[in-house]
Amino acid sequence: MTTEALLNTICNEIKCQDIKSLENSVIMLLKKLSNEEESLKIANAKASSLLADIIIKAYSRLLEPFIADALKMMIRRRAQIALVGHPNNALFIAILKTGSVEIYNSFILECEEMHTSDDFKVLCEALIETAFEFSKDTLSKCVQCNNGKEFYPAVPSNANRDIMTIHIDDYSIIMTVVEQYNSIVGRQQIISDLTLRMNLI
């Protein structure tokens, strides 16, 4: 199977929430890259980048818990994919792009288990700098707000527009706005958590 076909399979397995098949496909990808690249470091960097791209492509709030578990599995299969390129690790950048606190929690807990207290503090300091740099525009222009998690479901477009509902014509737009809005809030929460972890060490 080509790398491209394997990546498409991994993406579909995430969307189908098939953790067993996904784990087998991730193992195949890691082995394939290790055999094809000239060094393990290059293979790990490529694996990290490719899996990060898949997370961004497959991500939605509905899939967030599954992707968090999937990332934990991926890191346990090859720990270096979470560390290579530090502090601009591709998986961490993908987490910042989604703004998912749940996926971030899987990432940071796995990283914590791989480091001594002092090394983990250094890691957190570097990740904070990366997160600030990535989020500087939105952080400087947005106030702290609560996540928008629930709203009335879509209703038919011919429904009474005098009633305050979200019509089905606008539902996909609303979902996109909520996803984008929550990603900004999520990045704020990630930075706060990293700061707290660093200060507790």
Instruction: Give per-residue pLDDT as tens, 121-145.
Output: 999 999 999 998 887 766 555 555 5
d(C-alpha 59, C-alpha 94), whole Å: 10
Contact 141, 99 (CB under 8 A): no
* Cα–Cα distance measured from residue 167 to residue 139, given in angstroms and rounded to the nearest whole number: 32
What is the separation of C-alpha 191 from the centre of its chain, rounded to a whole number of angstroms? 14
How many degrees, rounded to 5, is the angle at CA 129 between CA 106 and CA 11?
A: 40
SS3 10: helix
* 36 and 79 Cβ atoms separated by less than 8 Å: no
Of 151 and 40, more confident: 40
pLDDT tens digits for range 81-120: 999 998 899 999 999 999 999 999 999 999 999 999 899 9
Nearest Cα residue to 131 out of 186, 83, 181: 186
**Predicted TM-score (pTM) above 0.85:** no
Give SS3 for 168.
helix
Residue listed under structure tokens 């996803």: 179
Q: pLDDT tens across 15-69, in order? A: 999 999 999 999 999 999 999 999 999 999 999 999 999 999 999 988 999 999 9
Which has the closest alpha carbon to 76: 109, 116, 38, 117? 109
| CB-based contact 29:10 (threshold 8 Å) | yes
Q: How many CB atoms lie within 10 A of CB 13?
A: 21
